[in-house]
Amino acid sequence: MDVAAPGAPEQAISHLSERGLVPDLLVNNAGRGDYSPFLDADPVRLHEMIDLNSRALLDWTHTFLRGMVSRGRGSVIQVASGIVFVPAPKMATYAASKAFVHALGEALPFELKGTGVRYLTLYPGATKSEFFLGAGMTPPPSAVPARQVAREGLRALARGKSRHVVGAMNRFGIRIMPLLPRAVVASIAAKMTQ
């Protein structure tokens, strides 16, 4: 299924319902990146990225949360990115699309208090996946296995956390970055995403 297609979340719910299944967990992990200077990027590709990374995530979340809240149970994991905490040269639109996920994740856990629904925003760094190929990048040696990202996310959700940064080095990085001049952080981020 094309998760960015209009009506896709409703089709998924209908498909599950026909089989007597009720979704208790939604993991919004679909995402697309692009590694290029902003002015050189293909606007169509940028729009498709925003559509998948932000609009589709919003649609799936809204559709699935309504049922979960009405049943008084369920969980949502939104996959943002550690890139939202640093300037992102050559990945500005990707970072902006993930900043949308971050902002949603800052607000919705408060709106969902007392509903029985858990909500976690997950912030992985570089992850071993097809993402890098699609974005036109080479994965860095520090990329972590996707299974580790999934395990950490599920553990954080089980502990009732509303946000979790994957990996000790990433957690250290987001604590130290605010202490450095933004120009230095942008330079470091540019080197890390080459």
Write the pLDDT tens digit of every residue in 97-115.
999 999 999 999 999 999 9
Q: Which domains does the chain have, with CATH numbers?
A: 24-192 (3.40.50.720)
Distance CA 63, CA 137 (A): 33
Q: What is the mean pLDDT of each run of 10 residues along the chain (194 residues)?
A: 94 96 94 89 95 96 97 97 83 93 96 97 79 66 81 95 83 68 68 59
Q: What is the dihedral of CA 111, 113, 119, 120, to 10 degrees?
A: 100
Distance CA 57, CA 66 (A): 14
Residue (of 117, 118, 123) closest to 152 by Cα position? 123
Query: What are the E-state strand segments in the chain?
Result: 25-28, 74-79, 117-123, 127-128, 144-145, 163-165
Dihedral sign of CA atoms 58, 75, 1, 49 in order? positive
pLDDT in tens, 174-190: 676 666 676 776 676 66
Within 10 A of 10 (CB to CB), how many other CB atoms are there? 12
The order of strands in the sheet holding 25-28 is 25-28, 74-79, 117-123, 163-165
Q: Is 123 a catalytic residue?
A: no
Q: Which of 35, 94, 119, 123 is catalytic?
A: 94
171: amino acid identity, one letter: R
